[in-house]
Chains A and B, each alone.
Chain A
Amino acid sequence: MTFIGNKSDLRVVGTRPVRPDGVDKVTGRAVFGADAIMSGQITGKVLRSPHAHARIVSIDASKALKLAGVKAVITAADLPNIASEEAFVGEGPMNFRDLSLNCMARGKALYEGHAVAAVAAMTDAIADAALALIDVKYEVLPHVIDVEEAMAPGAPILHDDLFTAGETPKPTKPSNVAKKVRFTIGDVEAGFKAADVIIERRYTTAPVHQAYIEPHACVAAWAADGQCTVISSSQGHFMIRSYCAKLLGIEISNIRVVPAEIGGGFGGKTLVYLEPLALALSKKAGRPVKMVMTREDVFRATGPTSGAAIEMKVGATKDGKITAAQAVMKYQAGAFPGSPINPGLMCAFAMYDLANVDVLGYDVVSNRPKVAAYRAPGAPMASFAAESTIDDLALKLGMDPIELRMKNAAKQGSKTAYGVTHGVIGYEEVLQAAKAHPHWSAPLGKNQGRGFATGFWFNIGGESTGAVFVNEDGTVNVVSGSPDIGGSRASMVMMAAEVLGIDVEKCRAVIPDTSSVGFTNVTGGSRVTYATGMAVTQAAQAVVEDLKKRAAMIWDISPEAVEWKDGEAVPAGANAGGFDPLPLAAIAMKSAKTGGPIGSEVSVNAQGAGPGFGAHICDIEVDPETGHATILRYTAVQDVGRAIHPGYVEGQIQGGAAQGIGWALNEEYIYNKKGLMDNAGFLDYRIPVASDLPMIEAVMVEVPNTRHPFGVRGVGEVPIVPPMAAVGNAIRGAIGIRMEHLPMSPPRIRAAIDGAKMPKAAE
């Protein structure tokens, strides 16, 4: 893939055209999952466990089935009892048996909200009445919610067949610890011996939900001939197809998934919950079945990201050289294994060039919903701990926090704790931009503090398909298999227009169903502009080559004698002939005479996505009476490689920062003694709203990734990594106390202030 992203040569990339999906979304014309309709559809609803942990003794649906208007009831007995099999389909390793059991409990309900049965009925009211008539007998079991309590001896065991992987010798007793994993470089003990200063701290973070505004929704039909159609909001309609095929035993060619518009995902829509149930209900009912979650369902039954308990130790010499870093991280996986412990361990210190690192992690199940990916999964909690500790190190050393990071910054050639040597990266450039920003040197007032923190995310590539078709009038359709969550329609048409040399308004983006474009992985991992963009760019380049051949045919000269410039075929030189330029539209008009329709579809499995780094500066004022922290100013600096549409990139940075601020200050699941969630709604689960935040200033640093034609690095995940530590460091600056537990909500801050004022009895 040739790099063509020199900024001075670009005419479309880097501009800010109007978003292609904007009018549909602001006028309400966009069709989201809950808006989708199939002829003859009926309603599906789910009966969920009221217990955190319970054996399902029996399910009697006979009364529900006798209710007029009820068309079908399903339980796990109606779904294939599939064997344990791991694969990498969506956004991480997935065990299909676990996924199936998460969609519908079999034998045991493992968390409050776990689906135990589902009904299809003519109306919502009948479906609700039917759910009430299903008689489920439970044997309530002891439950465990907290990650460290789940690891403790004697904790209630969720799975009798779960044995800790990574232990030597192999355990003989089941455990809630699904996996133990470690990354080590150098000799941390020697590193700590060489340190003049050592900071040790223990942090905890609460599980937080992705809090997408649109609840999960789908409509599905299983036709009499076995052909299935699903319309749903997700981060990948091919992922929906793959999972439904596997969980229901359907051949992939018999499932067509149509992508609805999506109202947010952030990683949480990379799994299936409703789609297999809707299909199974449809098969039984003989009608299309529509299912829409309530907000309470979303909180109680879909994946948050892990809460964590993290112990961290960092040592440095007096001049600020970090000599060793060590961490133990315990991540909640929810009811089934699969927390993002690996990336957490790998990201914690990836910003630094360190000789001695030892990070140990545990993947732990407990009676909570199974975790799902959430922007840079695993990294934010790890960075909260690492960057809070590094900040305290700077304080103890009397060093400027940016200077300390500069002194230890990862650069090209630095080896990470997970063994990989960094290539061309922009961390130093990000630090320099942050240091030079006026925010860093602006004055602060009373009760105010400034925090600084940085973060890293790998970014990924993967399988994508993109196609470019030239219409008869010279306009262009750009087709891809990536649902547009963060602006990919705009970036795809811009890259195509750049290569074709035409105005972006001449290009329209289309995201068709799974039977109409080649396989494409989910929209996630900050991969779409990189990988799907690569496919679209290559397709556009193939079209340009074809257009040159067509022009040569029209002029009756050799194709080598034709060049493509600013959207027109031109003779390569005087020897080629004195022809007037042939615009794309003129060539398109003659496509029938020159070989037929003009278009190209390219599928890639993109590798070598360039990692991203961010640095955030946060000013906070704490009200000492209430403990309320007000964000006064927030600046987020990030290496974005090359911004295709800077407005969307800024939006990604601002959105990630906003979600991270919510994670830092307010968001948490609150469980009662029965293991039931007490705040399953946006009234009590507090995400930031516009009035909570100042305008977040996004500063883009561009260190191109030359493995992408335009230099793209993924941008969607890095910005959620630094905020918790940036906020915590600002609070520390304001009140002089290190907050070690997330969220740093007003009661916790107030308690910390009160605690600091109290005399210490033991001293």
Chain B
Amino acid sequence: MAKVVISGSSCHEFTHGETEFEVAATTFRRLIPELEARFPGLGTHVEEYMAVAIDGVIFQDAYDAQLKPESEIVLIPKIGAG
């Protein structure tokens, strides 16, 4: 199963401090309801405000991004710029 890692504190209010857990989802789209079911509010928060790094590649928005069983998914704030 893919592993989700929460590095920053912005998701802690949803996960109550849990920073690593495994998920069954195989795409980013499917990850969102799984996060929501596990930690109410987190799926919506991730969809609206967070980006994900999947095996080191940052996706700002990508429902179809594939998650492999050995993937590491890091939830990070969306990145803007100048």
4 closest A-B pairs by CB:
A267-B82, A419-B7, A525-B81, A92-B80
Alpha-carbon separation in the docked complex, A168 to B76 (Å): 20
Interface check B8, CB cutoff 8 A? yes
Per-position 1/0 for A262-299, Cβ under 8 A of B: 00011110100000000000000000000000000000
Q: Can you offer 6 A-B residue contacts whose CB atoms are under 8 A?
A: A88-B49, A180-B9, A181-B9, A266-B82, A421-B55, A525-B79
A88 vs B78: C-alpha distance when bound (angstroms): 8
* Interface contact A421-B56, CB-CB below 8 Å: yes
Query: Is A423 in the interface zone, CB < 8 Å from B?
Result: yes
Q: Which residues from B are CB-within-8-Å of A419?
A: 5-8, 53, 74-76
Which of B5, B9, B49, B59 gathers most chain A CB within 10 Å? B9
B61 within 8 Å of A by Cβ?
A: yes
A262 smallest CB distance to B (angstroms):
13
Judged by a CB distance under 8 angstroms, whether B70 is at the interface is no
Question: Which A residues touch B62, using CB under 8 A?
Answer: 605, 607
Residue-wise, chain A 368-389 has the 8 Å CB interface mask toward B (1 for contact) of 0000111111000000000000
Q: Which residues of A contact B58 (CB under 8 A)?
A: 420, 458, 460, 607-609
Known contacts being A88-B49, A417-B7, A607-B65, is A375 close to B57, with CB within 8 Å? no
Shortest Cβ distance from A327 into chain B, in angstroms?
14
Q: How many residues of B contact A (CB 8 A)?
A: 30
On A, residues with C-beta under 8 Å from B are 86-88, 90-93, 166, 168, 180-185, 210, 265-268, 270, 340, 342-343, 345-346, 372-377, 417-423, 457-462, 524-527, 605, 607-609, 707, 717
Instruction: Give Cα A417–Cα B65 distance, bound, in whole angstroms.
Output: 23
Would you call B8 and A343 a contact (CB within 8 A)? no
Pairwise interchain contact B77-A342, C-beta atoms closer than 8 A: yes
Q: Which residue of A lies closest to B55 (CB)?
A: A421
| A500 CB to nearest chain B CB (Å) | 29
Contact partners of B57 in chain A: CB under 8 A? 423, 607-608, 707
Closest to A605 in B: B61
**How far, in whole Å, are A181 and B60 apart by their CA atoms in the complex?**
20
User: Which residues of chain A are within 8 angstroms of B53 by Cβ–Cβ distance?
Assistant: 419-421
In the bound complex, residues from chain A placing their C-beta under 8 Å from that of B56 are 420-423
Q: Which residues of A contact B81 (CB under 8 A)?
A: 91-92, 267, 343, 373, 376-377, 457-460, 524-527, 717
Where chain A touches its partner, the secondary structure class is loop
A708 to chain B, nearest CB (A): 12
Bound CA–CA A38/B9 (angstroms): 50
- On chain B, the residues within 8 Å of A421 by CB distance are 53, 55-56, 72, 74
> Roughly how many angstroms separate A393 CA and B80 CA in the complex, as a whole number?
31
Among the listed B5, B13, B55, B80, which residue makes an inter-chain contact with A91, where contact means beta carbons less than 8 Å apart? B80
The distance from the CB of B13 to the nearest CB of chain A, in whole angstroms, is 7
Q: Could you tell me if B80 and A90 are in contact, using CB atoms closer than 8 angstroms?
A: yes
How many angstroms between the C-alpha atoms of A457 and B13 in the bound complex?
A: 28
Instruction: Decide if A181 touches B8 in the complex (CB within 8 Å).
Output: yes
Which of B8, B49, B78 meets A183, CB within 8 Å? Answer: B8
Distance, CA A422 to CA B74, complexed state (A): 12
B10 touches A (CB below 8 Å): yes
Report chain B residues within 8 Å CB of A376: 81-82
A374 to B82, CA, bound (A): 5
B7 touches A93 (CB 8 A): no
Tell me if B8 and A418 are in contact (CB < 8 A).
yes
**Identity of the chain B residue whose Cβ is nearest the Cβ of A526 in the assembled complex:** B81
Shortest beta-carbon distance from A610 to chain B in Å: 9
Smallest beta-carbon distance B2→chain A, Å: 14
Question: Nearest chain-A residue to B10 (Cβ)?
Answer: A181
Check if A182 sits within 8 Å of B80, measured CB to CB: no
> What's the Cα separation between A461 and B57 when bound, in Å?
11
Residues A91 and B82 in contact in the complex (CB < 8 Å), given A166-B9, A183-B8, A607-B60: yes
Contact at B8–A342, with CB atoms within 8 Å?
A: yes
A279 to B41, CA, bound (A): 38
* B75 proximity list for chain A (CB < 8 A): 419
Q: How far is the CB of B51 from chain A (nearest CB, A)?
A: 9
Binary CB contact string for chain B from 35 to 66 against chain A (1 if under 8 A, 0 otherwise): 00000000000001100010111111110010
By the criterion CB–CB under 8 Å, are A183 and B9 in contact? yes
Q: Once bound together, how far apart are the Cα atoms of A343 and B58, in whole Å?
A: 14
How distant is the Cα of A420 from the Cα of B56 in the complex, in angstroms? 6
The answer to whether A418 and B7 touch across the interface, beta carbons within 8 angstroms, is: yes
Given contacts A91-B80, A418-B76, A419-B74, contact A607 B59 (CB under 8 A): yes
B40 → A minimal CB distance (Å): 16
A420 to B13, alpha carbons, bound, how many Å?
Answer: 21
Across the interface, which residues of B come within 8 angstroms of A87, CB to CB? 48
- Is the Cβ of A460 less than 8 Å from the Cβ of B60? yes
- Provide the bound-state CA to CA distance between A268 and B82, in Å: 7
Name which residue of chain A comes closest to B6, CB basis. Answer: A419
In whole angstroms, what is the CA distance A364 to B1 when docked? Answer: 40
> B5 to chain A: which residues have CB within 8 Å?
419
Query: 11 new A-B pairs (CB below 8 Å) besides A93-B49, A419-B76, A717-B82?
Result: A86-B49, A87-B48, A88-B49, A92-B80, A182-B9, A343-B80, A343-B81, A419-B6, A419-B75, A460-B60, A525-B80
